[in-house]
């Protein structure tokens, strides 16, 4: 079940929605103004690994770059 990014054409709200079926994808409603005039946005995603491993490697890179040598 993919998570899509949307932008409401009525109020400009940007949000994500878990879409279980193609029929549901046609009836996505804005969580702010409840209009169905939404447009699916192009999503960029990383390949390989999980979000947790990405977070861990980012934290490790940040921690090591802040270390001072004596």
Identify whether 64 is part of a domain: no
If one compares 65 and 34, the residue with the highest pLDDT of the two is: 34
Q: SS3 of 10, please?
A: coil
Element (H, E) at 62: helix 51-66
Domain span at 31? 1-42
Q: CATH no. for residue 38?
A: 2.20.28
Total domains in the chain come to: 1
Identify whether 17 is part of a domain: yes
Identify whether 49 is part of a domain: no
How far apart (Å, rounded) are the C-alpha atoms in residues 38 and 61? 38
How far apart (Å, rounded) are the C-alpha atoms in residues 31 and 10? 12
Identify whether 15 is part of a domain: yes
Q: What value does the mean pLDDT take over residues 13-29? A: 90
- Tens digits of per-residue pLDDT, 22-57? 888 889 999 999 999 999 997 666 545 555 544 444
45 backbone dihedrals φ, ψ, rounded to 5°: -140, 155
């Amino acid at each position: 079940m993919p998570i899509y990014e949307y932008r409401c054409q009525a109020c400009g709200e940007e949000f994500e929605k878990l879409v279980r079926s193609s029929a549901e994808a046609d009836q996505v409603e804005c969580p702010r103004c409840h209009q169905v005039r939404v447009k699916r946005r192009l999503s960029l995603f990383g390949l390989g690994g999980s979000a947790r491993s990405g977070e861990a490697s980012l934290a490790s890179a940040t921690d090591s770059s802040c270390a001072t040598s004596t």
